[in-house]
Chain A
Amino acid sequence: AQSVTQPDIHITVSEGASLELRCNYSYGATPYLFWYVQSPGQGLQLLLKYFSGDTLVQGIKGFEAEFKRSQSSFNLRKPSVHWSDAAEYFCAVLTTSGTYKYIFGTGTRLKVLA
């Protein structure tokens, strides 16, 4: 069955430190992968997506993610975290068997210490 796993429920980092949020997926075909961010009281906003080609993709707000097929992973990274990055982050995979549906991970809540 298709699934997305975000193993870290909460992560705390200091402002200026580097960040890596983990995402593992289970999907038999070529995955179409997304990272979204959700600020409190808001909907989800797209950070970046992987469709094909270069396995390192750049997104908004200085985020990047690397697709590793051998590890079934699509980890999100940022070299230097800002206090405004505190939010919840969701990884998602698009399933294309039949109609298109998105499967979301359970999210990672990021706390940033000043």
Chain B
Amino acid sequence: NAGVTQTPKFQVLKTGQSMTLQCAQDMNHNSMYWYRQDPGMGLRLIYYSASEGTTDKGEVPNGYNVSRLNKREFSLRLESAAPSQTSVYFCASTDRGLNQPQHFGDGTRLSIL
């Protein structure tokens, strides 16, 4: 099983450029999440989608937008990239239920010059 697939794995952008990070899961999970991981700060939630058709802001949403395209896909868009958005981005999905863990993709390493 592929699980959670993120594309691309690496990307370098210039300040002001736009970019969409793609995420797809094949586990029929209802909830999907986008996190950023920065040294010493753990994972911080950017946006999440509790179910198809809904999205909500997390802890650090500024500068990002998301689209829950269908049950499988949840994309993250940077409209005008800034150096502060240099980070590793992780997508995760979760099945319905309280004791369900998150399943993570392998991450997208994004550098903004």
Contacts and interface: CB of A to CB of B under 8 A. Distances in A.
A46 B98 contact: no
Most A CB atoms within 10 A — which of B42, B44, B58, B90? Answer: B42
B26 interface: no
Q: Is the interface of A mostly helix, strand, loop or mixed?
A: strand
Q: Is the interface of B mostly helix, strand, loop or mixed?
A: strand
Most B CB atoms within 10 A — which of A34, A36, A49, A104? Answer: A104
Contacts of A99: 31, 48, 50, 56
B42 A43 contact: no
A38 to B, nearest CB: 8
Given A51-B99, A106-B42, A100 B104 contact: no
Nearest to A9: B40
Given A99-B48, A101-B45, A106-B41, A42 B98 contact: no
A32 interface: yes
B94 interface: yes
B60 interface: no
Contacts of A92: 102
Interface of A: 9, 32, 34, 36, 41-46, 49, 51, 90, 92, 94, 96, 99-102, 104-107
Given A41-B106, A104-B44, 10 more contacts: A34-B101, A36-B101, A36-B104, A43-B4, A49-B99, A94-B98, A99-B56, A100-B94, A101-B58, A102-B33
